[in-house]
Amino acid sequence: MAAPLPPRTDDWWRDAAIYQIYPRSFADGDGDGTGDLAGVRAKLPYLAQLGVDAVWFTPWYASPLIDGGYDVADYRTIDPAFGTLAEAEKLIAEARNLGIRTIVDVVPNHVSDQHAWFQAALAAGPGSAERERFHFRPGRGPDGELPPNDWPSQFSGTTWTRVPDGEWYLHLFTPEQPDLNWANPEVRREHEDVLRFWFERGVAGVRIDSAALPAKAPGLPDFVEGVDPHPYIDQDDLHDIYRSWRAIADEYGAVFVGEVWLPDAERFARYLRPDELHTAFNFNFLTCPWDAGRLHRAIDDTLAEHAPVGAPATWVLCNHDVTRTVTRYGREDTGFDFATKTFGTPTDLELGTRRARAAALLTLALPGSVYVYQGEELGLPEADIPHDRIQDPMHYRSGGTDPGRDGCRVPMPWAADEPYSGFGSGTEPWLPQPDDWPVHAADRQATDPDSMLALYREALRLRRSGTGFGDGPLTWLPAPEGVLSFARTDGLMCLVNLSAGAVGLPAHRTRLLSSGPLDEEGQLPRDTAVWLRA
């Protein structure tokens, strides 16, 4: 049995720092070029030293890895490329012993086309109970040669694929990810069972993939621009599903974080009602450009939309689907394109790094929980992947116009002087690492007090041990144009300078940490943040 955790238990998630692991690219323990659980286990001391409260694993289940594991073939086994179920159980227990909880990813919208259910549906044919678990339909047109409806895909391309017997099946993502039919009770029962399966193994939380997509409008009507409700986004039936999930989580004291991309604040907050999800990712903050006014508004809107439901906010700068923070903030145009989930054009990495450091202090000072995507603590830039090495289906489905998401999924640099920057000892990693990867290696940064890693470690240490951080009120303070200044409790204050020049600091405060040096006059330079205490 795992040892009990330190106090602060029940509502740990309200202000946790959660580290996102993309297993394929974190650390390669067996030297086959793909990250694995052995690699993660070896790096647990690194994570403990970094000072995170939990790790979230993107899918680690058996999968053909067409969409990086978001095409799950079997929820109850670990993909052999990553390890075994027994190893996952060990990992969960070892992490707990270090005070680190585990969050797994569940993907209710779809499964892999290799999943036993889909294979059975193909074999059983039209009209069968097996097909009822998915959305199979005859086509339109005289010979059924046209797709059953006109739904746009979440990736580019069609949402319907025809099978040899003439029926079509729905897939909001790739054809290898058939959508499940959530009106079917078996689908609900199966997922409730999967939740229990992982909670029984000591998992403390579940991230819900594409959480606003699984329920579909009855009859799968055509999509009509501007007409609400959308036939597959944010359907009301979802709330009943998540209420039953919540009841299960409550039995285990486990928590949810939903991937809910919804621009409407009121609709978003409905998922966070007390008997539904505990938290959801805050994409408004992630997609906000580096602009004081816009960030101020994004923070206010976030806090205002969470307050009525009593849920803590989450703060996310990056994940496995978006351009790396230093690259994004290094662009003049940091605007976000929702369709391709990517950001603006050419980049100044030095500027981007300065801003990413400031953004880290901003994010870690805000009320709620915070997510750190692997490699953000090393300040990794987005990598250019040669076209013939790109694996992300988003790239292929766009006809090669969208670079896809592999640039933020490049295997981690651990040791500057080792082959493949210490990612693994043997084969070349599954995605190529840029030539300058050793510069960013964790071992090099660990001994450099000015490194991104040192900044994250110190900030997380202060956030964990100091008062005034995490959950609780935030009060904006008067500040010059272009400067964000707010107080938390216990005299804690955060100042972020997004203006064009340096600004003075308030008197009689102790400087806890700054994202860069102050200038000769003791002023806070542009694109720099500081934490102060009265």
Q: List residues near ligand GLC by CB under 6 A.
A: 67-68, 70, 107, 173, 209-210, 259, 320-321
CA pair distance 448, 446, nearest whole angstrom = 6
Residue nearest to ligand GLC (CB): 70
Return the number of the residue (28 or 392) whose C-beta is nearest ligand GLC: 392
Q: Which amino acid is at 258?
A: G
> What's the sign of the alpha-carbon dihedral 468, 473, 474, 476?
negative
Sheet holding 136-137, edge to edge: 136-137, 168-170, 160-162
How near is the Cβ of 108 to ligand GLC at its closest, in Å? 10
With a CB cutoff of 8 Å and minimum separation 6, the contacts of 447 are none
Return the number of the residue (109 or 433) whose C-beta is nearest ligand GLC: 109
Sheet holding 475-476, edge to edge: 475-476, 483-487, 492-497, 528-533, 510-514
Return the number of the residue (319 or 353) whose C-beta is nearest ligand GLC: 319
Whether 479 and 496 have beta carbons less than 8 Å apart is answered as: no
CA pair distance 8, 17, nearest whole angstrom = 13
User: In the beta sheet, which residues pair with residue 61?
Assistant: 78
Query: Which one of 67, 209, 234, 527 is the catalytic residue?
Result: 209
How near is the Cβ of 404 to ligand GLC at its closest, in Å? 10
Q: Which amino acid is at 424?
A: G
How near is the Cβ of 440 to ligand GLC at its closest, in Å? 23
Whether 107 and 209 have beta carbons less than 8 Å apart is answered as: yes
- Smallest CA-to-CA distance from 482 within 294, 286, 288 is with 294
How near is the Cβ of 173 to ligand GLC at its closest, in Å? 5
How near is the Cβ of 105 to ligand GLC at its closest, in Å? 8
How near is the Cβ of 400 to ligand GLC at its closest, in Å? 18
Quote the Cα angle for 65-326-103, to 5°: 45
Return the number of the residue (242 or 486) whose C-beta is nearest ligand GLC: 242
Q: Which two tokens stand for residue 67?
A: 């969409």
Return the number of the residue (56 or 531) whose C-beta is nearest ligand GLC: 56
How near is the Cβ of 320 to ligand GLC at its closest, in Å? 6
Return the number of the residue (235 or 445) whose C-beta is nearest ligand GLC: 235
Q: Which letter does DSSP use for residue 134 in this model?
A: B
Whether 200 and 94 have beta carbons less than 8 Å apart is answered as: no
Return the number of the residue (160 or 173) whose C-beta is nearest ligand GLC: 173
Cα dist from 519 to 357, 501, 514, whole Å: 17, 11, 12
| Count of other CB atoms within 10 angstroms of residue 293 | 12
The answer to whether 251 is a known catalytic residue is yes
How near is the Cβ of 319 to ligand GLC at its closest, in Å? 7
| Count of other CB atoms within 10 angstroms of residue 60 | 27
Cα dist from 452 to 356, 364, 375, 442, 490, whole Å: 9, 14, 10, 10, 27
Return the number of the residue (14 or 341) whose C-beta is nearest ligand GLC: 341
CA pair distance 262, 204, nearest whole angstrom = 26
- Smallest CA-to-CA distance from 408 within 435, 383, 437, 438 is with 383
Q: Which amino acid is at 394?
A: M
Query: Which one of 200, 240, 251, 291 is the catalytic residue?
Result: 251
How near is the Cβ of 508 to ligand GLC at its closest, in Å? 46
Go through the chain and tell me how many residues it has: 534
CA pair distance 359, 403, nearest whole angstrom = 25
Return the number of the residue (405 or 444) whose C-beta is nearest ligand GLC: 405
Radius of gyration, CA atoms only, the chain = 23
How near is the Cβ of 261 to ligand GLC at its closest, in Å? 8
Task: Describe the crossing of helices 185-200 and 237-252 by its angle, rounded to 10 degrees.
Answer: 30
CA pair distance 296, 318, nearest whole angstrom = 19
Phi, then psi, of 255 in degrees rounded to 5: -130, 160
Catalytic residue numbers?
209, 251
